[in-house]
Amino acid sequence: MLSLGSQFLVALGMLIGILIILLASMWLERKALAHFQFRLGPMRTGYHGLLQPIADAMKMVVKEMSVPEGVDVILYKTAPFIVFIPAFMVMAVIPFTATIKAADLNMGIFYVMAVLSISTIGYMMAGWSSHNKYSLLGCMRSIGQFVSYELPMGLSVLAVVMMAGTLNLNSIAQAQSCNWNIFRWYIFKQPLAFIIFFIALNAEICRVPFDLPEAESELVAGFHVEYSGMRFALLLMAEYVGLFTLTSICTTLFLGGWYGPPVLPGLVWFFLKTFSLIFILFWTRATLPRVRADQLMSLGWKVLMPAALINVVITGLLIMLKVY
């Protein structure tokens, strides 16, 4: 048990670390998207626009936080925090390496699923209290999306949990420990679960093929239409924190966490894998068009759900037959 002071320091360190990761992934997204579209992206602030996110953040901080007329003020003001805090709380259980981790919870992955479900309430709060039809439509879509993709996501995680025999993220990563034999990673034993998890992850963080809740061309900006200044920044940050935490959960569950061929240290492996996943998400964003609402629902309920259920059954059979 660490003393209170050092716990505080660890928390502060993680906060600064995640802010750097946040800014880095925002920069990376803008640059990646620009290059996918044969543009250069931000170039003027710092080397190849490296300081652009900091400039953006400064702008956000000094902007006025307007409160439109007719909003439910208490709910309107609390909603960004309800969205942001759970997204950040997930960080607590992510094992970056065997030693760098904030909390070693026995119900790690279960905690992640539980905490993530709270931020949905924040979206609902933001959309409903804004007193704007676009926000309301956006938040209703996001709820529908979250509810239908949380189930296949949970079921695909279940297959991994069945194989590892534990809910603890640290132990799940250790079950995939490897040197050169990377075929111990669960992505090779559970390819279907990985695909389902990755699609559901994409839907959970509302990124492009599944960005219906904030479809610009239909809904202006969805549930955060009425937000400005630091409150908007919180909602935006929550999105990027969600991007990072969910991809790092994916790394831990399927890509062996910090384990890899012993040419690089564990932390480097972890971030390499996570940022590759993030890059794939940017890539999909640049490549695919948005799905329609009915396509979204039928993909979730008629394809991913049965596939995830079948995967659980097959995994159970294979474990019973002692193949795994």
Partner 1 sequence: MQLVIFFVLAAITTVAGIIMVSADNIARSIYSHVLALLGIAGIYLLLYAEFMAGVQVLVYAGGVSIMLLFALMLTKPAKGVIRALDHPRRVPAFITAVVLFGLLSFSIFQAKWPLKVEPSRVMTPEVIGKSMFADYVLPFEIVSVILLVALIGAVVIGVKGREDTDDEE
Q: Which residues contact 244 (CB under 8 A, 6 or more apart)?
A: 18, 21, 22, 25, 274, 278
Span 114-173, contacts to partner 1 by CB under 8 A: 114-118, 120-121, 124-125, 128-129, 131, 133, 136, 140, 143-144, 146-147, 167
Nearer to partner 1, 105 or 192 (CB): 105
Kindly compute the dihedral angle of the four CA atoms of residues 159, 165, 169, 175, in this order, to the nearest 10 degrees. Answer: -100
Given the complex with partner 1, which of 97 and 117 has the nearer CB atom? 117
CB nearer to partner 1: give 32 or 136: 136
From residue 210 to residue 249, what is the string marking binding to partner 1 with x (rule CB under 8 A)?
A: ----------------------------------------
Structure tokens, 68: 């439109």
DSSP state letters, 114-166? HHHHHHHHHHHHHHHHT--HHHHHHHHHHHHHHHHHHHHHHHHHHHHHHHHT-
CB of 103 to partner 1, least distance (A): 11
Q: How far apart are CA 274 and CA 265, in angstroms?
A: 15
Least Å distance, CB 190 to partner 1, is 20
* CB closer to partner 1 out of 13 and 165: 165
Q: Which of residues 60-99 bind partner 1 (CB under 8 A)?
A: 70-72, 74-75
- Judged by DSSP in three states, 228 sits in coil
CA angle 56, 49, 84 (to 5 degrees): 35
Q: How far is the CB of 32 from partner 1 (least distance, A)?
A: 32
Between 136 and 249, name the residue whose CB sits nearer to partner 1.
136
Closer Cβ to partner 1, 51 or 113, answer by number: 113
Angle at 85 between CA 82 and CA 91, to 5 degrees: 150
Q: Interface with partner 1 by CB under 8 A: which residues? A: 70-72, 74-75, 105-107, 110-111, 113-118, 120-121, 124-125, 128-129, 131, 133, 136, 140, 143-144, 146-147, 167
